[in-house]
Amino acid sequence: MLIAKSGLRPDEIATRVEAAFDQIMMVIFKRTDRMFAYLMAGQWLFGILVALVFSPYTWAGRAYTPHIHVYTAVFLGGLISSLPIALTLLKPGWAVTRYTVAVAQMLWSALLIHLSGGRIETHFHVFGSLAFLAFYRDAKVLIPATIVVAGDHFARGILWPESVYGIINPEWWRFLEHAFWVVFENVFLLLAIRDSRNDARSVAKRQIELEIVNATVEAQVDERTSELAASREQYRSLLETTLAIPWEMEPASLRFTYVGPQAEAILGHSPALWLTADFFAKHVHPDDESSLLNFQRLHVGGRDEVEFRLMSADRRWLWLRSVMTVGENSNGRPVLRGIMLDVTEHRKLESELAQAQKLESVGRLAAGIAHEINTPVQFVSDSIHFVREGTQDLAKLIVKYRALHDDDSSRLSAETIADIRQTESDVDLPYLLEKMPKALDRALNGLGHVAVIVRSMKEFAHPDQKEKVGIDLNQSIASTLVIAKSEYKYVADVETDFGDMPAVTCHVGEINQAVLNIVINAAHAIADHISGTDQRGCIRICTRREGDDAVIAISDTGGGIPDAIRDKIFDPFFTTKDVGRGTGQGLAIARSVIVDKHGGSICFKTEAGAGTTFFVRLPIEAAVRPAVA
């Protein structure tokens, strides 16, 4: 099935099988060539040995010369062995090599028979040689070998018949009788060669099938490995590049067994430290230790979510929300797994939002209170006015009455006059006549201030209408300064320089809020700058018309804005103030109102130790309906 999946056609497979078979056969050819190279050399040495042992000399009486067998063994034997040895070394596996070997081997049979004096045993070399040649598993190799044997018998049968057959005139077919046994052996050798080649072909086929299967499996494994690697990389990337910290923990010991790389990035502790036995216990906030119970309470399959604080490497407490589940590891033991999210900023924002909402509520209440106060204030002011006027009238009457008792012609008794004078002394009438009007003036003045504040608060808190309307910007700024007085009156004096200004089209409430935020920031900057001294700062507000724009410049004599934070002061929630003293939204709101909602601009110039000036530029639009009073 895997072979079918390989996509190879049957003829392609057959070609590969044949190539593998040829390779197997080539290995056999070369191996057999090497064997025969050694055999040829050995036979040569053996032939020389036989000649030297059995027929070293030819004799005539006492005289002797080396026997022709010796020369034959050395030279003819060397000649017979030389070419096969050379071919096996230079052309191993070559067809000509093994055919030459076959001829040479049979020639050695003939030579050894000569050297051994025609011993019957030496004739076995012929049959043994044929069997050795069959090691090539090439049927064609037997052909030249058989030809050599048959040819030798045929030629000698013609030239020296007695040497072959022992008779003078053998029949023509007598050589076949000798060749028959060679052919007889050849038949069995051919059968063995055929079977051996078939076995080799089967091996080749199995080898190719195995290669195809291996290749197919390897391809599948590679494909699966790539998919697995891609999937793992995807999951690893997802896991390790998100802001959430993946983790794993032994529930019994609360020891982390894995944390993602985000852990070090967020908290600064190295992964090795995370994995220590008591890391969690050592770094969790004392007030959140109970959260550890959540970790240990879960059973397999359980889920939970908990928030707690951990100490970072730079000694900050960071809020972490952990979502966890209980699973099992490869050993079947329970294991906690989850993700942790840094929710420190989230918590901070929640706190500031709550503060902002509280302030908003206070602001709404203030508007209502202002509205409610306005009427009784008006009553009191009117009443004080009446009393002030009445007091003036009574003072005139009292003066007249005093003239009566001072006049000698008055009919009042001396006792009555004395009583009146005593009472005047007791009540310190002169003092009253002097101070009461002033007190009433001060009361009226205070009520006037209250009325201004209430009116300013009403104006400030008045909900904006959906459309922009033209307003008196100077008046609006003045009202806002009244609202903000409590922030600056202890630390700074306010100077205003309002220029001639046409009606500026805007959302007055939002502009008031923006100016208020800048003034409050100025007051806080002065307060921080003069802290510990008895100095007072100055907040100066100037308005000018520049072309189509109304420009408001708000300056303070605070400490200036440091270089490091100058590009952050308009960022939402950025603040250098303590919690409760500012939400970090003031300048962000001012910028949003001025730039985004009114198409204006806001910028500043600052000098360390000298102060800061904010420049607000608002576009003036001419054709607008006037603001409702």
Partner 1 sequence: MKAASIVLLWLLLVSGGMFSLQAYKSTAGEQVPAPSSWPAGSGLQRVAGLKTLVMMSHPKCPCTRASLAELETLLSQYRERLTVYVLFVQPKDVPYEWTRTDLWQTASHIGGVHVLVDDDSREADQFKGLTSGQVVLYDADGRLEFNGGITGARGHVGDNFGLKRILAVLRGEKTDRADSPVFGCPLHAEQDASAKP
Q: How many CB atoms lie within 10 A of CB 245?
A: 24
Q: Which of 241, 237, 250, 245 is nearest to 343 (CA)?
A: 245
Tell me phi and psi for residue 557, to 5 degrees: -110, 40
Window contacting partner 1 (CB under 8 A); options: 99-107, 382-390, 521-529, 621-629: 99-107
User: For partner 1, which is the closer residue by CB, 73 or 501?
Assistant: 73
- Binding to partner 1 by residue 55, rule CB under 8 A? yes
Q: Select 122 or 606, whichever has its Cβ closest to partner 1.
A: 122
Tell me which stretch binds partner 1 (CB under 8 A): 98-106, 470-478, 558-566, 576-584: 98-106
Choice from 25, 103, 182, 618 touching partner 1 (CB under 8 A): 103
Binds partner 1 (CB under 8 A): choice among 21, 29, 132, 165: 165
- Token output for 245: 């910290």
Q: How many Å apart are CA 159 and CA 422, to the nearest integer?
A: 193
If one asks whether residue 62 binds partner 1 (CB under 8 A), the answer comes out as: yes
Shortest CB 129 distance to partner 1, Å: 15
Residue 75 or 490: the one with the smaller Cβ distance to partner 1 is: 75
**Cβ of residue 49: shortest distance to partner 1, in angstroms?**
14
Q: According to the binding rule CB under 8 A, does residue 421 interact with partner 1?
A: no
Alpha-carbon torsion angle 178, 179, 182, 188, nearest 10: -120
- Please state, in angstroms and as integers, the Cα–Cα distance from residue 593 to each residue in 57, 458, 517, 526, 600, following that order: 132, 20, 11, 24, 9
Does the footprint of partner 1 cover residue 160 (CB under 8 A)? yes
Among 38, 64, 184, 235, binds partner 1 (CB under 8 A): 64
Cβ proximity to partner 1: between 122 and 557 the closer is 122
- Shortest reach from residue 132's CB to partner 1, in Å: 19
> Rule CB under 8 A: is residue 100 a binding residue for partner 1?
yes
Question: Token pair of 413, please?
Answer: 């008794």
Nearer to partner 1, 76 or 133 (CB): 76
Give yes or no for residue 110 binding partner 1 (CB under 8 A).
yes
Do the beta carbons of residue 593 and residue 468 sit within 8 Å? no
Quote the least distance from Cβ 140 to partner 1, whole Å. 15
Closest CA to 80 of 54, 61, 49, 105: 105
A 10 A CB-CB count for 175 gives: 23
Distance CA(171)–CA(224), nearest Å, equals: 78
Cβ contact 78:64 at 8 Å: no
Q: Which is nearer to partner 1, 80 or 366 (CB)?
A: 80
Smallest gap from Cβ 191 to partner 1, in A, equals: 29
d(CA 223, CA 160): 77
Residue among 47 and 251 whose Cβ is closer to partner 1: 47
Q: Is 121 in the site for partner 1 (CB under 8 A)?
A: no
Calpha distance 142→160 (Å, rounded): 26
**Is the CB of 144 or the CB of 251 nearer to partner 1?**
144
Cα 332 to chain centroid distance, Å, stands at: 30
Residues contacting residue 173 through CB under 8 Å, at least 6 positions apart: none
Using CB under 8 A as the binding rule, whether residue 390 contacts partner 1 is answered as no
262 binds partner 1 (CB under 8 A): no
Stretch touching partner 1 by CB under 8 A, among 53-61, 253-261, 542-550, 560-568:
53-61
In the region spanning residues 528 to 587, those forming contacts with partner 1, defined by CB under 8 A, are: none
- Total of chain residues touching partner 1, rule CB under 8 A: 44
Least distance (Å) between residue 62 CB and partner 1 = 5
Residue 168 as a binder of partner 1 (CB under 8 A): the answer is: yes
Q: Using the rule CB under 8 A, is 69 a contact of partner 1?
A: yes
d(CA 550, CA 499): 10
- Binding partner 1 (rule: CB under 8 A), the pick from 152, 185, 342, 510 is 152
Is there binding between residue 76 and partner 1 (CB under 8 A)? yes
User: 189 near 134, Cβ under 8 Å?
Assistant: yes
Q: In angstroms, what is the minimal distance from the CB of 171 to partner 1? A: 15
CA–CA distance from 184 to each of 105, 178, 188 (Å)?
Answer: 19, 10, 7
- Quote the least distance from Cβ 116 to partner 1, whole Å: 9
Distance CA 612, CA 615 (A): 10
Sequence-ordered list of residues with C-beta below 8 angstroms from that of 604, at least 6 positions apart, any chain: 561, 569, 612, 613, 614, 615
When asked if residue 181 is in the footprint of partner 1 (CB under 8 A), the reply is: no
Minimum distance of partner 1 from residue 192's CB (angstroms): 27
Stretch that binds partner 1, among 65-73, 365-373, 438-446, 550-558 (CB under 8 A): 65-73
63 near partner 1, rule: CB under 8 A: yes
The angle that helices 344-406 and 414-427 make with each other, rounded to 10 degrees, is 160
User: Using an 8 Å Cβ cutoff, are 528 and 608 in contact?
Assistant: no
Q: Which helix (H) or strand (E) holds 530?
A: helix 508-530
Q: How many angstroms from the chain centroid is the CA of residue 501? A: 57
Determine the Cα–Cα distance for residues 167 and 156; give it in Å rounded to an integer: 12
| Cβ–Cβ under 8 Å, residues 125 and 113 | yes
- Select from 43, 64, 61 the least CA-distant residue to 129: 43
Candidate segments 101-109, 177-185, 199-207, 415-423, binder of partner 1 by CB under 8 A: 101-109
Which of 1, 10, 11, 59 touches partner 1 by CB under 8 A? 59
Closest CB to partner 1 among residues 158, 219: 158
Residues that bind partner 1 (CB under 8 A): 54-64, 67-69, 72, 75-76, 79-80, 82-83, 91, 96, 100, 103-104, 107, 110-111, 114, 117-120, 152, 156, 159-160, 162-163, 165-168
